[in-house]
Amino acid sequence: MLAQAQKAIRERCGLIRFDNVGLRYGLEPEVLSDVSFHIPAQSFQFLTGPSGAGKTSLLRLLFMSLRPTRGQITLFGKDVLSLDRREMPMLRRRIGVVFQDFRLLSHMTIFENVALPLRVRGKEVASYRRDVSELLDWVGLGDKLNALPPVLSGGEKQRVAIARALIDQPEILLADEPTGNVDPPMARRLLRLFIELNRSGTAVVIATHDLGLMEQVDARRMILSNGHLDVFG
């Protein structure tokens, strides 16, 4: 019964729901004001807007790295503001994040960086070695498993960060400028990876101001400007 009720709520609200969310840093004017939207399960959308519009800030609200100044955020059917801290790790495990600045651990090899989400879930290397290698092959880094992040190019780091976000097949993927450091062919390839991931059931949110990238897919567009969000499609 309870499980069914929760499922019904989730279907109605989507995976994530924002209601009149406002965000300001210190005493500055609001970066986001009255932002309301929802992200349905298995959906695909771009989040766009000029630099400084608040894309990264919005994504941070989405993965609980920041709390809103006002409004309500519902994540997997749970109100984030009243959420118990001990529940957060379990919710975060259902979200994959590609940070704009990658956040790779420089003392670990590429393989270990990508495997980190599985390691913190208590899985054994033997159980995921194949998956990690295959994913790294897919993003074109199959020959760099044992390299350390500091020796990689920006685009290579980006692909490692993407692989780390995808490795545990999250229910939703949040990617902040995931094609910002790669050439157009690699960007197309990564986009195809995201689309494939989406087909297998993961909701995808890609923050970008790369118009060329957005033209390749007919997807929802969430456009931020002057603190307001407009959703198309």
Partner 1 sequence: MSDQDHRSPPASPIVPPGNIAGQAMALVVAIMSFLACLTVGGVSLVGQSAATWQSQISREATVQIRPARDFDIETALAEAQAIAADYEGVRSARIIGREETLGLLEPWLGSGLGLDELPVPRLVVITIDETAPPDFAAMRAAITEAVPNATLDDHRAWVGRLVAMARTTTLAGLAVLALVMAALVMTVVFATRGALAGNHEVIEVLHFVGARAGFIARQFERRFLVIGLQGAAAGGAAAVAVFLVTGFWASRNLTSAENEQLSAFFGDFSMGAIAYVGVALVVVLVGALTMVTTRVTVLRVLYEIDEKRADPSL
Ligand X SMILES: Nc1ncnc2c1ncn2[C@@H]1O[C@H](COP(=O)(O)OP(=O)(O)OP(=O)(O)O)[C@@H](O)[C@H]1O
Sites of contact with partner 1 (CB under 8 A): 23-27, 31, 57, 63-69, 85-86, 88-90, 92-93, 97, 103-105, 107-109, 111-112, 116-117, 119-121, 125, 129-130, 133, 145-146, 164
Query: Which of 46, 76, 41, 43 has its CA nearest to residue 62?
Result: 76
Q: Which of 56, 113, 179, 202 binds ligand X (CB under 6 A)?
A: 56
Binding string to ligand X for residues 167 to 206, with x set by CB under 6 A, is what? Answer: ----------------------------------------
Displacement of CA 45 from its chain's centroid (Å): 11
DSSP string, 143-180: T-TT--GGGS-HHHHHHHHHHHHHTT--SEEEEESTTT
**Of 55-63, 73-81, 116-124, 134-142, which segment contacts ligand X by CB under 6 A?**
55-63
Instruction: Determine which residue in the list 51, 82, 146, 200 makes contact with ligand X, applying CB under 6 A.
Output: 51
Q: Is 74 in the site for ligand X (CB under 6 A)?
A: no
Among 132, 142, 140, CA closest to 169: 132
DSSP designation for 130: H
Q: Quick check: 29 binds ligand X (CB under 6 A)? A: no
Pick the piece of the chain touching ligand X (CB under 6 A) from 50-58, 72-80, 135-143, 159-167.
50-58
DSSP code per residue over 71-123: EEEEETTEEGGG--GGGHHHHHTTEEEE-TT----TTS-HHHHHHHHHHHTT-
The two tokens of residue 83 are 């959420």
Pairing of strands 78-79, 70-75: antiparallel
Stretch that binds ligand X, among 51-59, 80-88, 116-124, 183-191 (CB under 6 A): 51-59
- Give the span between the Cα atoms of 95 and 172, in whole angstroms: 5
- The partner in contact with residue 129, picked from partner 1, Mg ion, ligand X, none with C-beta cut-offs of 5 to 8 angstroms by kind, is partner 1
Q: Which is nearer to Mg ion, 17 or 55 (CB)?
A: 55
Residues that bind ligand X (CB under 6 A): 25, 31, 49, 51-57, 100, 209
